[in-house]
Chain A
Amino acid sequence: MFVLPGEPLEPATLPSHSTIPLKLGPGLLHIPPNTITPTVAGLLRTDKRKNAVWVEFNGGRYVPTTGDLVIATIQRSSVDVFYASISDYTPNATLPQLSFEGATKKTRPQLAFGALVYSRVSLANKHMDPELECVSSSTGKSEGLGPLTGGLVFNISLGMSRRLMLAKPGEQGGLVILDELGEQGAAFEIAVGRNGRVWVDSKSLKGTLAIGKAIQDIDEKSLKVDEQKKLARKVAREI
């Protein structure tokens, strides 16, 4: 259901649950006591199981949210902490130097200016600069986070990042390119940041470029599933 900012939602459109309270996702504003209005233009979506409602939309600038996985660029380092940029022209986020797997006071990671790190946003609110971590705070393991070496990073829209990070990109996001490339036998590594960046690395430079460009093409030209399959075959041939 298409919504625009400022049109209060009818209670009939909201899901209801006997025990779980209603959860508001991105794009909605609660005006006490009973009004819920969208704040962006998009499609209203509901999840009856979790009793959640949100607005699905694409575009704009990434706003750091706790728990998101992002690809950040190191700007500088100081005594205990790295300063990393999550998106252009915004204040830097802090990344503690000990927040890496196996890091101690004696063995800190050495990251140069411009290095890319795959990290999780550990703290983000409107009053403070965001904070990142490269290690899971509960287990102490990196779980795939940490510096990204080699390869190339590509810019994509926020909607595309969201699709790539869905649990089932093919079913829920109409995105089959990565599965298709895997089936065609292409070997590559990929990391998707919710801040509109995707990092790709494969054995050949041509391969990396082809895969990255394919993802950007699907994003910009809104390619459908069958067009993605054709693109995957073309890319696999080039590698």
Chain B
Amino acid sequence: MPREVEPSLNEKQFFVKALEENLRIDGRAFDQYRELDLEFGDELGVTDVRLGKTRIHTHITAEVTTPFPDRPFDGLFTITSELSPMTSPFFEPNRPSTTEILLSRLLEKTLRRSGALDTESLCLIAGQKCWSIRADVHVLSHDGNLVDAACIGVLAALQHFRKPDTSTEGESVTVYTLAEREPVPLSLLHFPYCVTFSYYSSTVEEGETVTLLDATLLEEQLREGSATIGINRHGEVCQIAKLGGVPLDAVAFLGCVQIALVKVKEISVFVSKRLEEEAKKRDKGGLMAELSAENDRVS
């Protein structure tokens, strides 16, 4: 098993001193995200997220299958996030590392358990046929903050994806191909994004902690605690994960939730803008207006 690479002593000492002087190694403010870039693929439901040098590719696919026997009215939604040696030679296939397990667990809690995707809308025939939506997250390059970037990627892809149109007659379901009918968007109830905080015990003041947002790989390796908050732009907290690490003051932690809300609003605006631009690009010739069933009002 290849050993994970650890930062050198010089980097550790420099980093601690820099935090004392309110400096970050890449020059950002403590609560500033790196440059976020979102691109869509030619296929529907394919996104490429870049957060600084972290790059994540997400792929959504849909398949008709049978629902779970104990949940006959719900469709299926799975998120896979296996890390490959492309991310780093440290990650071997079929050997889940801590990073991988944490990533898939946080995505599971934030996106699946919170009901971001309405699984009831995926049901075709109760107890017999339903849609199974599958999100594959491929990490192409790891420079820290995989959770936030993966969340953005999956949510943007879910909004971009269109599943084939269907019609049901009694016990039989007809699935229309892309050539026969326009595919329909998924039913998303809310958009919970993740914001990860990294904590470092302060050397300036006893018992205080320094908080950084959007840590790079080096900052992640040197951090002493972290918390991930899954929250949507309405201020509803979907999940909070603070797994060990340096203890935090509870009131200060609530402050972090407020910061997370601000960041999530910014991210939501950004993703919506990119989706609009993408829709315009695809809709050359104004076909969407023609497809609409609304009649123009005659005054």
Contacts and interface: CB of A to CB of B under 8 A. Distances in A.
Contacts of A85: 5
A148 B8 CA distance: 11
B9 A116 contact: yes
Contacts of B10: 114-116, 148-153, 199
A85 B25 CA distance: 23
A206 B23 contact: yes
Interface stretch (B12-20, B154-162, B268-276): B12-20
A227 B223 CA distance: 36
B17 A205 contact: yes
A85 B10 CA distance: 15
Interface string A115-130: 1100000000000000
A42 B90 CA distance: 30
Nearest to B89: A89
B11 A152 contact: yes
Contacts of B2: 89
A209 interface: yes
B8 A115 contact: yes
B27 A213 contact: yes
B8 A114 contact: yes
A112 interface: yes
A88 interface: yes
Contacts of B42: none
A209 B10 CA distance: 13
Contacts of A89: 2-3, 5, 89-90
A186 B183 CA distance: 62
B8 A208 contact: no
B285 to A, nearest CB: 39
A152 B7 CA distance: 11
A161 interface: no
A208 B7 contact: no
Nearest to A151: B10
Contacts of B6: 114
Interface string B247-261: 000000000000000
A89 B92 CA distance: 13
A152 B14 contact: yes
Interface in A88-113: 88-89, 112-113
Interface string A205-217: 1101100010000
Chain A at the B interface: SS class: mixed
Nearest to A112: B9
Interface residues of B, number: 21
Interface string A39-81: 0000000000000000000000000000000000100000000
A221 to B, nearest CB: 14
A62 to B, nearest CB: 14
B21 interface: yes
Contacts of A199: 10
Contact of B8 (A116, A205, A209): A116
Nearest to A205: B18
A209 B11 CA distance: 12
A151 B12 contact: no
A77 to B, nearest CB: 13
Of B2, B3, B8, B18, most A-chain CB atoms within 10 Å: B8
Interface string A149-165: 11111000000000000
A114 B11 CA distance: 9
Given A89-B2, A151-B14, A213-B27, A205 B9 contact: no
A202 B89 CA distance: 34
A205 B27 contact: no
Given A89-B2, A89-B89, A213-B27, A208 B14 contact: yes
A3 B27 CA distance: 40
A190 to B, nearest CB: 14
A130 B145 CA distance: 35
Given A89-B5, A205-B17, A205-B18, A114 B25 contact: no
A114 B23 contact: no
A122 to B, nearest CB: 22
Contacts of A88: 5, 89
Given A89-B89, A205-B23, A209-B25, A115 B18 contact: no
20 contacts: A89-B2, A89-B3, A89-B5, A89-B89, A89-B90, A113-B9, A114-B6, A114-B9, A114-B11, A115-B9, A115-B10, A149-B10, A153-B8, A153-B10, A153-B11, A205-B18, A205-B23, A209-B18, A209-B25, A213-B27
Interface of B: 2-3, 5-14, 17-18, 21, 23, 25-27, 89-90
Given A208-B14, A209-B23, 19 more contacts: A73-B8, A85-B5, A88-B5, A113-B9, A114-B6, A114-B10, A114-B11, A115-B9, A115-B10, A116-B8, A116-B10, A148-B10, A150-B10, A152-B10, A152-B11, A153-B10, A205-B17, A205-B23, A209-B27
Q: Which 3 A-B pairs have the closest CB atoms?
A: A114-B9, A152-B14, A88-B5
